[in-house]
Amino acid sequence: MLSRILVPMDDSDHAEHALEYALENHPDADVTVLNVVGVPSMMMGDAVGLSLEDDLETAAADRAEPVFERAREVAAERDHEIETVVGIGHPARNVVDRADDYDAVVLGSHGEDWDRAARRFLVGNVAETVSKRASVPVTIVR
């Protein structure tokens, strides 16, 4: 039986489905939703914006809050409470680095930009990396 589950979430439908799956299939587990902000990109987008903030942690928490609000709504619909945590930097690295603290990771097959040409065909880059490198079982939800 799983007692602690990490659910990485962005604002994609796949991530929301992963949270729903975790809550429905492991109703007694403590679920932690991780949102990673400041994602590096070829144009450095979000990462540069965060680096210009005076208070990095507050800015990261502010950017993660809309995702956490939706996650809390999904959990409340199932009479479940969740923990939330903000990561900064590369999503896959954040998940893999935190995985040891959990019994399993449940994540969506693709993130918010899953349909971009740079993404893998069937499984997104983050999901693929986490499934290969995490030290705990990983469930990928579509």
Confidence of residue 60 (pLDDT cuts 50, 70, 90): confident
This prediction has a pTM of 0.85
* Mean pLDDT, range 8-27, rounded to an integer: 96
> Can you give the pLDDT at residue 89?
85
Please state the length of the chain.
Answer: 142
Question: C-alpha angle 27/127/108, rounded to 5°?
Answer: 45
Give residue 59's pLDDT.
82
Q: What is the mean predicted confidence (pLDDT) over 20-36?
A: 97
Residue 53 domain boundaries: 4-141
- The number of folded domains in the chain is 1
pLDDT digits (tens, 9 = 90+) for 86-114: 998 889 999 999 999 999 999 999 765 54
Average pLDDT, the chain: 85
Which has the higher per-residue pLDDT, 116 or 80?
A: 80
DSSP single-letter state for residue 120: -
- Give the pLDDT of residue 90: 87
The reported pLDDT for the residue numbered 17 is 97
β-pairing verdict for 104-108 and 138-141: parallel
Give the CATH number for residue 8.
3.40.50.620
Alpha carbons 91 and 42: distance in angstroms, whole number: 15
Does residue 122 carry a pLDDT above 70? no
Task: Provide the H-helix boundaries in the chain.
Answer: 13-25, 45-51, 56-77, 91-98, 125-133
Q: Which two tokens stand for residue 57?
A: 């942690």
- pLDDT-based confidence at 54, cuts 50/70/90? low
